[in-house]
């Protein structure tokens, strides 16, 4: 049963839109598999606070025996995890590190577990009317669902993580494998069976689900109704990952900064690269490295940073918020004032 749909984001950010589409794809597969299932309750895009901490769970499954948290991750290209559980991804042949989605969802799981445990008295009944039940013995799982068109490099991936990294199209099968649901819900007679899995009664499941809905921090964006084509439409087999070009401000003549080699001052022999200390350009004339980071071209503030989106580099000022697009045309690095569409 679907108790909370995914609310599409209205952000114009390419990165946010890509992540949003992945979450909608996963929500689609969850709806197809569990919308009529009496023992499975699905929450998409859950936000809550507990102990002065906040968490956002992309997808949460509450079922007869416990909880499953799913982190959606939009990846176009290849992803690999080494023996130290360090994640990296590639795009157009270039590799870079990335935060571990598994570690992220584990932190969310810990906070959710603390939240429900702190409210066990109102969510779970007392055994024989005297002994308060708790969430001990209930199952907790967390997995990561990545884009179906991604390539997973499993050569050096630890087995413990390999089982938790799933392509979206195989997610429903993996969830059924984890849950191992019986044909019908267990009844009180199962309590006296050997090797029984602790379960939630229908009443407890109802209380837990209503509690989580009440805890959810509502978005200011408009919710999606059950008939929304955004969720019900079939996910695209290959995600269109082209980045829209950012445009120059039409109200004024763009300000341009020519990046030069700090050693030989050449402007036409620069190649974009990245390293331990950030993005820089390498001069093929004298093999000198020069940082891309420059003062803000609007307010001259030194507190700037360089970000990269695919092959596009941007200079962002923390002071005034100005964003400049750094282009490489014929190996000439230019920085121009821009705004996003």
User: Which tens digits make up the pLDDT trace of 266-306?
Assistant: 877 888 888 766 788 888 888 888 888 888 877 777 778 88
- Residues 189-226 as b/e (b if ≥16 CB within 10 A, e otherwise) read eeeeeeeeebbbbeeebebbbeebeebbeeeeeeebee
Q: At residue 94, does pLDDT exceed 50? A: yes
Instruction: State the pLDDT at residue 231.
Output: 34
Q: State pLDDT tens for residues 102-117.
A: 999 999 999 999 999 9
Q: CA 333 to CA 273: how far, in whole Å?
A: 12
Q: Which residue has the higher pLDDT, 197 or 252?
A: 197
pTM above 0.85, yes or no: no
What is the pLDDT, as a whole number, of residue 67?
98
3-class SS string, the chain: CEEECCCCCCCCCHHHHHHHHHHHHHHHHHHHHHCCCCCEEEEEEEEEEECCEEEEEEEEEEECCEEEEEEEECCCCEEEECCCCCEEEEECCEEEEECCHHHHHHHHHHHHHHHHHHCHHHHCCEECCCEECCCCCCEEEEEEEECCCCEEECCCCCHHHHCCEEEHHHHHHHHHHHHCCCCCCCCHHHHHCCCCCCCCCHHHHHHHHHHHHHHCCCCCCCCCCCCCHHHHCCCCCCCCCCCCCCEECCCCCCCEEECCCCCCCCCCCEEEEEECCEEEEEECCCCCEEECCCCCCCCCCCCEEEEEECCEEEEEECCCCCEEEEEEECCEEEEEEEECC
| Tokens coding 166 | 């799933």
Residue 36: which pLDDT band, with cuts at 50, 70 and 90?
very high
Domain residue spans of the chain: 2-232, 247-339
**CA-angle at 193, arms to 189 and 197, nearest 5°:** 95
Q: Can you tell me the distance from the alpha carbon of 139 to that of 67, in angstroms, rounded to the nearest whole number? A: 6
Residue with the larger pLDDT of the pair 230 and 52: 52
What's the rounded Cα separation, in Å, for the pair 47 and 221? 14
């Amino acid at each position: 049963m679907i108790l909370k749909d995914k609310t599409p984001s209205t952000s114009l950010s390419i990165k946010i839109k890509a992540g949003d589409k992945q979450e909608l794809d996963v929500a689609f597969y969850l709806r197809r598999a569990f919308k009529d299932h009496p023992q499975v309750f699905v929450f998409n895009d859950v936000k809550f606070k507990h102990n002065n901490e906040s968490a956002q769970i992309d997808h949460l499954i509450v079922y007869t025996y416990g909880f499953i948290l799913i982190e959606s991750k939009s990846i176009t290209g290849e992803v690999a995890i080494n023996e130290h559980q360090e994640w990296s991804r590639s795009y157009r042949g270039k590799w870079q590190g990335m935060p571990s989605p598994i570690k992220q969802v584990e932190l969310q799981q810990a906070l959710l577990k603390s939240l429900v445990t702190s409210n066990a008295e109102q969510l779970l009944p007392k055994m024989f009317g005297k002994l308060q039940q708790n969430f001990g013995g209930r199952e907790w799982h967390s997995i990561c669902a990545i884009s179906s068109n991604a390539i997973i490099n499993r050569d050096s991936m630890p087995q413990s993580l390999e089982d938790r990294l799933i392509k979206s199209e195989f997610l429903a099968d993996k969830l059924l494998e984890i849950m191992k649901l019986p044909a019908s819900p267990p009844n009180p007679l199962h309590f006296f069976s050997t090797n029984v899995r602790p379960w939630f009664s229908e009443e407890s499941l109802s209380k837990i689900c209503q509690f989580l809905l009440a805890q959810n921090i509502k978005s200011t964006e408009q919710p999606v109704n059950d008939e929304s084509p955004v969720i019900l439409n079939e996910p695209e087999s290959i995600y269109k990952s082209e980045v829209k070009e950012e445009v120059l401000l039409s109200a004024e003549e763009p300000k341009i900064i020519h990046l030069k080699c700090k050693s030989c001052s050449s402007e036409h022999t620069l190649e974009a690269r990245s390293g331990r200390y950030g993005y820089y350009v390498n001069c093929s004339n004298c093999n000198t490295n020069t940082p891309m980071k420059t003062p803000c071209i609007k307010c001259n503030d030194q507190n700037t940073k360089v970000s990269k989106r695919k092959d596009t580099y941007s200079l962002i000022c923390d002071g005034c918020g100005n964003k400049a697009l750094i282009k490489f045309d014929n190996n000439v690095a230019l920085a121009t004032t821009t705004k996003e569409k």
